[in-house]
A and B are shown apart, each in its own frame.
Chain A
Amino acid sequence: SQQGEEDPQALSIQEGENATMNCSYKTSINNLQWYRQNSGRGLVHLILIRSNEREKHSGRLRVTLDTSKKSSSLLITASRAADTASYFCATDLGDYKLSFGAGTTVTVRA
């Protein structure tokens, strides 16, 4: 079963704007990861945040984690047309497996 759920399901923004998507999960985790998928392709890892971390940055990406609310957010700043993709959160429960959400589809308009 899928533990993570992303919100919103779809997001359309203008180039240069920020994009924010959220992920909620159900059980305790070792870490939470965000992945990106271009249409019809495999997933690419973006960033990992551990359960004892609250915020992490990587380039134009900012991830937060609130373990008390069992939620995470991914912020993409100054979006570009090339950021158009689907974004998935994945929770690592420490049992060799990642549980993926249904994803947020982001469209960046030029």
Chain B
Amino acid sequence: SQTIHQWPATLVQPVGSPLSLECTVEGTSNPNLYWYRQAAGRGLQLLFYSVGIGQISSEVPQNLSASRPQDRQFILSSKKLLLSDSGFYLCARQGITEAFFGQGTRLTVV
């Protein structure tokens, strides 16, 4: 099965604190991986994608960064969170004909 694990499911962090969200993928090798952010009631905004270890492409300038230290691991980070970083973060893997999503992390920056 092609399973995507994301954790934590929910997170409340103070402004200025660091962030690390982890995504791991099972059942495939060398996947294309993606981080999306979804604001309340909105669509998905692509933040980063990676086609291999150490290869990161950024779609929008922002306060966040991504890393891919292992083939099946994709990490979203921030050194100092802003209020505007609040949202629902989704990790995804691109399959041949469809994308597979994790269950998401609800981040609230207070």
Q: Which residues of A contact B (CB under 8 A)?
A: 2, 4, 31, 33, 35, 40-45, 48, 88, 90, 96-103, 105
Contacts and interface: CB of A to CB of B under 8 A. Distances in A.
B7 to A, nearest CB: 13
B106 A96 contact: no
Contact of A96 (B94, B100, B101): B94
Contact of B102 (A35, A42, A96, A103): A42
Interface of B is mostly: strand
A100 B90 CA distance: 13
Interface string B31-62: 01010100001111110010100000001000
B32 A96 contact: yes
A1 B104 CA distance: 21
B97 interface: yes
Interface of B: 4, 32, 34, 36, 41-46, 49, 51, 59, 88, 90, 92, 94, 97-104, 106
Given A42-B90, A45-B100, A98-B99, A103 B43 contact: yes
Contact of B43 (A40, A42, A96, A101): A101
Contact of B103 (A2, A42, A48, A88): A42
A99 B46 contact: yes
Given A40-B106, A98-B94, 19 more contacts: A2-B45, A33-B98, A40-B88, A40-B104, A42-B90, A42-B92, A43-B92, A43-B101, A88-B43, A96-B32, A96-B49, A96-B51, A97-B34, A97-B59, A99-B46, A102-B42, A102-B43, A103-B43, A105-B41
A31 B97 CA distance: 9
Interface centre among A33, A41, A98, A101 (most CB of B within 10 A): A98
A103 B101 CA distance: 16
17 contacts: A4-B43, A40-B88, A40-B106, A41-B104, A42-B101, A44-B101, A45-B99, A96-B49, A96-B51, A97-B34, A98-B99, A100-B36, A100-B44, A101-B43, A102-B42, A102-B43, A103-B42
